[in-house]
Structure formats: C-alpha cells, structure tokens
Amino acid sequence: MTVAANQVVLQGDPRSSNLLPDSFPTFVKALMNEWHVPGLSLGVIKVPEDGGDVVTEFHGFGEAGHGRKVDKDTLYGIASNSKLFTAAAVGKLVDDGHFSWTDKVTKLLPDFKLSDAYASEHSTLIDLLSHRTGMPRHEHSYQVGQTTKELVEWLRHLRPSAEFRETWQYNNQMFGTAAHLVAETSKQDFIAFMQSEIFDKLGMSSTTYQPHLDGPDTEAKLSSSFQTLENGTIIEIPYGFNYSYQDLQFNAGPGGIVTSAADLLKWVEFLIRQRRAGLVKQNPLARYAGLPSPSTIVQLSTPHMLMDRFPEDPYLGPSAYGLGLMMRSNQGIEMNWHGGDVPGFGSQVVWSAQAGVGIVALASASGSGNSVADIACFRAFDELVGNKPYDWPSYYRKKDKKAREKRKEAGRKAAAHDKAEHPPSLPVEAYLGVFADVGYGQVEVCSPKSPQSASPVCQKLLERISHAESASTIVPPLRPDPVLYISWPGYFNFSHIILRHYDGDVWKGAFVDILEGTKRNPGLKMVYEDADSVTVRFRLEEGEVRKMEVSGVWGAGSEVPEDDERVEVSFAKV
C-alpha cells in the first residue's frame, strides 16, 4: 500500500505556516505504509502567549474511502478522546454552581451505588473521572439498548477488582455515569447539552455524535473505517456506533464523538488558552464566555491518579491521569494527551499550555491506526517544542512485537493442551441453557452439534457463525471436545465465546467478534481474542448444573494480576 499526502492549510485567520519540517509528511507516509493504515488527518496548532492569532497546519494522507481524499474536514470517530469533553461538561455545571468536584456522587445521583460499600459512600466526581474507584472495565456487561440510567443502577451488581483509590483502572462506565449526571442536572439529554453548551459555542460545526442521523452531507464527510488484522491485512468495516438516537446516549459520554481535525484544533486552542488563564488567575477571552472556565480546565489537566510509575522505557518517565486526560513531563515540558480506539478508527490528541502547541491525528483504522496516530503526534510534539526526537517508531514496534508474541504464546500453550485429564461430569446437553447474572444480564450456552433443536437465540448465533469467515490468523484450538458457544452479544462487535472442554467441568476459550460487512467488503468476518483467555467453571449441585463461574471478562488492566481461578462473574442457571 502506498500512501499519498495532500497538505491542506486554512485560508485567512488563523494564519497558516509550515510548523513541521518538510520531511514530516514523508515520515508519516512511511508509518502508514508500515502499519497498513489507509487514511490519516493531521492538524497542528501554535498558540502564542500574547493572545494573538494562532498558526495552524493541516495534512491529509491517503484515502477517506469511495475515491475521496482525506482533508481537514474529514470526519472520524474519536472514541475515548470524547472523555475530556464529558469531563468539561461536568466542569461547566460545577462553574454554574450545581455541585462541587468533591461532592459525593451518591448525593448527586441517589441511584449510584457500588458493590464496595466504602467506595460507594466516598466516591467523588474526581474519583469517577480519574479511574480510581476500584472498578475494572466490565465492558462485557453492557446491554444493547441499555440506558445510562440503567447503567448507573446496574453498577451495584458488578464486582471491583481493586480497593478504592488503590490503583488506576480504566473504566468507561464512570464516564457514562458522568454523562447521566449532566443529563439529570441540565434537564436535557447529554447529546443536546454537548451540542448547545460546547460544540456550538466553540464553532465546532462539523462535530456530532450521530453522523448517520445528520443527513447525507455529514455522512459524505465521514471516513470509511477499517480494522487491521494480525497479519497486516486491512478490512473495511462499518463505523461501530450506528445506533438509534436514544441508544447513542449510552456511549456518548465515554466515547461517542465524531469530528474533524479542523474542529479538534478549535478545542485544543480553547484548552491551551483556558489552562494558561487558569494558572495565572486571569479572566478568559470574551469569546469563551459561557464555556467551561479556566479553573475547570486546570482541574481537568491536573494529575489526580498515578498511571505508570515505571514505564518500559525510562526516557518516558512516570505518567498520571487528570480528568479525562493523561499527562507527563516530556524532557521538562508539560505534555497532555489521550488516545481513542473504536472499531474502525484510532485517534490521538496531544497538547501543552506551557509550550503553546497542539497536535491531533485521526486515523481510519483501529489498532494499527492508534499506533500511527500516537507516533505522529508524539514526534510532532518533539519537533514543535525543540526536543531531540525520541525514537517513537521503535518504541511502538517493540510494544506491538510484545503483544504479538504474547498472543502467539497463548495460542501455543492452548494447543499443547489437546487432551483433558477428566471428562465432563455430565452429558454435554446438561451444560446448555440460559444463565443469568443481575449485573451481566442473560447469556445462553449453545452446542454447535444440534442446531435444529437449539433455542431461537442459539439458532441465530449458529446461523451467523455459519455465514461468517475467520479473519484471524491465530484461531483458538477446538480440542479437546466437546465445543460450546456462549451467546454474549454486546457493543464493540462482541458476539459470543467459543469454548473447548479443558478438564472436568472447566472449559476455556476466547471472545469472538463478528464484524458486519460493507458494500465494498460484504460478508461477516470473525475475529478471535487470545486463546484460553476466558475460563468457565460449571458448578453442580445434586447432579445438576446450577452455576457458571467466569473469569477473564472484566478487563482489570495490567496493574491487577490475571488469575483464572478468580470468579469475576457468577451466573445462575435459569
């Protein structure tokens, strides 16, 4: 794949200039070829301290799909780069006197309750927005059609994986909770609040949560989206959040924004100017009246939780999390950043009020697109602030190699276990059926060997599997027999778990995503997660299966050691 670049500059105010070296586009094109990324939109901004005009630079690389070139107005899903917007919306309500940052969440949302009584009682808005409640991701608990109110009400049924404020654990649900708080306090839905109070006031006219509902002009600006497979193959997939307006509210807070590089630089300029004003106790510019205050932006960009005390490369130094924002010192210069990853897109936003610079990179591929966006932004940051450029490409190659080797080793280890020491206690039919957990809802265990007698849920799953082709180069082993499926549909293309018998009443397997096709790439595609990453134990009482205990599903992160003996979710047979 060869990537072309077309530089795009804004005309008039703000001023346009060559902020990056002439060699930078060649550097980015080489990255995109190496990582198999079809398209990328890059924007750079320099914000002077005297309040003068900003200087910007835009580059469009590759294709936006259907013969379109990438430019500054091409739209991409920015996923978790939405979090800082959500935190800013909460800050706007703090500015307006509705509550304070240190108010207990239970005071503001009576339905908010965690299973850890201490965490439930003491959690503040800062705890929620800095990922320190003790809760793991729990993303396999999401129910399609679930409201943010239901999300908040279900939190009490989900298990923590760490003590309150003990360690940093990424959790999208807390930003869904924050979005629900904004909606409840403002008496309007979250998307409408963001549109009127943030996007419109900043002139972010292309930014939306609902490109497929905004009409053909907006849809025409949306980039095609791709997923990069383990072997470097790229396949086109639909954007992952083409839901109804009400269903869009569910993901809006943690990751729902769709925007362009041109609009994002307006946001970055605002962040830089407001943080600068807040640090020296100055009033904001008149055009920022009614937007989150300088003190709010300082609060968002202040470290609240240590993330990475000992990074893999000592050059990088420790990093911390603010409120929807990551930060560290880069060779003595403040650097704030956040990435975003949603099926089909990857993004990175980097900025520094100290240096007065910002970079945004939006890529049309998940996974590898994140790597390219990260490398491009961090290298651009080094260039803009005058640091000796760090070898970001080698750093990300090492990370990718480590992840690939871990995946291959999991596959080799799983394949080596091809014979169970003990058979299942009961015939395979006894393990089939519906299982329920109050926090995770209902799932159903199915057998691929009896599709005619299967339930409607299992029949639908088996039919989809029969029409899908594997898009993974590493497929989990299917021996020893028997093989079971657990129908477990959810967001992010989650479809089911494929299990093979391991020993006695223990099965092991992996989650499987089923990707929908597009006009140019029709047909369903199956993508497998790491082999034997999920462990299922069936518990028997009086000779019958009564419970299904599952580990490997809650996504606690690297700070919590993996343990397939630990029960993360316990389902009761219905």
The per-residue pLDDT for 479 is 84
pLDDT exceeds cutoff 60 at 10: no
pLDDT exceeds cutoff 50 at 9: no
Residues 6 or more apart in contact with residue 80 via CB below 8 angstroms: 172, 254, 255, 338, 339, 340, 341
Instruction: Please say whether the beta carbons of 452 and 490 come within 8 A.
Output: no
The per-residue pLDDT for 219 is 87
- pLDDT band (50, 70, 90) for residue 2: very low
Fold of 420-573: Lipocalin (2.40.128)
- For residues 448-454, average pLDDT: 79
Instruction: Select the more confidently predicted residue: 235 or 278.
Output: 278
- For residues 443-456, average pLDDT: 87
Lowest mean pLDDT among 6-10, 254-258, 563-567: 6-10
Domains 5-93+185-390 and 420-573 share a fold: no
Question: What six digits make up the tokens of 245?
Answer: 């307006």
pTM score: 0.94
Give me the residue spans of the domains in the chain: 5-93+185-390, 420-573
DSSP 5-66: EEEE---SSSEE---S-TTHHHHHHHHHHHHT--EEEEEEEE--TTS---EEEEEEEEEEET
Share of the chain above pLDDT 90, in %: 78
- pLDDT band (50, 70, 90) for residue 294: very high
Lowest mean pLDDT among 59-63, 125-129, 191-195, 522-526: 522-526
pLDDT tens-digit map of 139-164: 999 988 889 999 999 999 999 999 99
Helices (H) and strands (E) in the chain, counts: 16, 26
Determine phi and psi for 61, rounding to 5 degrees: -120, 130
The per-residue pLDDT for 242 is 65
SS3 66: coil
Question: What six digits make up the tokens of 117?
Answer: 């009584």
pLDDT exceeds cutoff 60 at 54: yes
pLDDT tens-digit map of 407-423: 999 999 999 998 999 99
- pLDDT band (50, 70, 90) for residue 185: very high
Beta-ladder partners of 55: 15, 46
pLDDT exceeds cutoff 90 at 208: yes
Question: What six digits make up the tokens of 18?
Answer: 């060559």
The beta-strand segments (E) located in 464-505 are 468-470, 483-487, 494-503
- pLDDT band (50, 70, 90) for residue 447: very high
The per-residue pLDDT for 182 is 98
pLDDT exceeds cutoff 80 at 474: no
pLDDT tens-digit map of 386-411: 999 999 999 999 999 999 999 999 99
The per-residue pLDDT for 374 is 98
The per-residue pLDDT for 490 is 85
H-assigned helices in 417-519: 456-466
- pLDDT band (50, 70, 90) for residue 17: low
- pLDDT band (50, 70, 90) for residue 11: very low
Region 5-93+185-390: CATH code:
3.40.710.10
pLDDT exceeds cutoff 50 at 1: no
State the Cα–Cα distance between residues 469 and 549, nearest whole angstrom: 30
- pLDDT band (50, 70, 90) for residue 6: very low
The per-residue pLDDT for 14 is 41
